[in-house]
Amino acid sequence: MKIDKEIFHSSHPQHKLKLQYTEVPFNCDGCKEAGIGLKYKCEQCEFDLHKACAVAPPISTTHPFYKKCEFRFYERPPGNVMRICDACRNDVLGFVYHCNKCGFDLHPCCANLPQVLDDGKHNLYLCLKLSSSCHCCGGKGPGWSYRSECKNYNLHVSCVKELLMESWQAMYLNVDKNKVRELQTRIPSLKGTLQSHHHRGKGGKVKKCCQIAAGAVRVIISAILGDPTVIIGAVVGALISN
């Protein structure tokens, strides 16, 4: 598929947006969510859009999880009520796919999450509901998740997003040093989280679980940020290796 190097977008009609590649996380001015990798940027206004947000088709689209729904793209959440993305459970603050018939909402990047991810050793499958507890929060709350092929390892998209955002805030945002230290003490170590969750298991099982989940988190973060590639996976790995 051809990708235009320059575009005009209705959300920023003043200037052209140029396609760029970055390994530094940014905040998308369209959906208000984090991004990395390919983006469209206005060099005059510091305006950024995920590639998925910039080229989102305005016509209705469907999703494998909601086969009876017809999603339409909106630059602003429709209606007067606060909306929540049914994939990641985050607030919808900007660009969104909304089904008028069923009321479901999806961030553009969430709507484009791959059904299957490969972390280099294992396949991870996107699931509408958890079949067993999330290995990050230990719960079975709502929202999409990625599950390993063996069905033993599950990670909420929302949990991975939270892990990403806290790490990103500590590493990249311009906050005072005391705030950074406070955030760093709150960022869970993935290995520590999983060891605590499996404290009754045998050492070998815990180690294997940590290895699988660590690889999973890297590729899921890459997909959430809009660029599920090996290169970006290595970059975002640094965000969670506290």
Residue 160 burial (10 A CB sphere; 0-12, 13-18, 19+): buried
Residue 134 has pLDDT above 50, yes or no: yes
Residues 6+ apart with CB under 8 A from 162: none
- Residue type at position 209: C
Segment 152-160 shows an average pLDDT of: 85
Tokens of 193: 């989280």
Between 63-67, 119-123, 183-187, 211-215, the lowest mean confidence (pLDDT) is in 183-187
Q: Which CATH number fits domain 6-54: 1.10.3470, 3.10.28, 3.30.60, 3.40.50?
A: 3.30.60
Q: What is the pLDDT of residue 168?
A: 63
Residue 41: closest CA among 19, 15, 57: 19
Query: Do the first three CATH levels of 6-54 and 61-111 match, i.e. the same topology?
Result: yes
Tokens of residue 178, six digits: 């005391």
Q: CB 141: neighbour CB atoms within 10 A?
A: 13
- 185 pLDDT above the threshold of 90: no
- The mean pLDDT value for 162-166 works out to 73
pLDDT at site 193: 41
Residues 62-90 have pLDDT tens digits of: 899 998 899 999 999 998 889 999 999 99
Quote the pLDDT of residue 189. Answer: 38
Q: What architecture is the 61-111 domain classified under in CATH?
A: 2-Layer Sandwich (3.30)
Q: How confident is the model at residue 38 (pLDDT cuts 50, 70, 90)?
A: confident
Q: Which two tokens stand for residue 236?
A: 């975002």
Is residue 182 predicted with pLDDT exceeding 60?
A: no
CB 45 within 8 A of CB 15: yes
Place 94 in a pLDDT band, splitting at 50, 70 and 90. Answer: very high
**For the chain, which residues make up each domain, given as ranges?**
6-54, 61-111, 116-240
Query: Mean pLDDT of all residues in the chain?
Result: 76
Tokens 């005072």 label which residue?
176
Q: What local confidence, expressed as pLDDT, does residue 15 receive? A: 93
In this predicted structure, what is the pLDDT of residue 223? 77
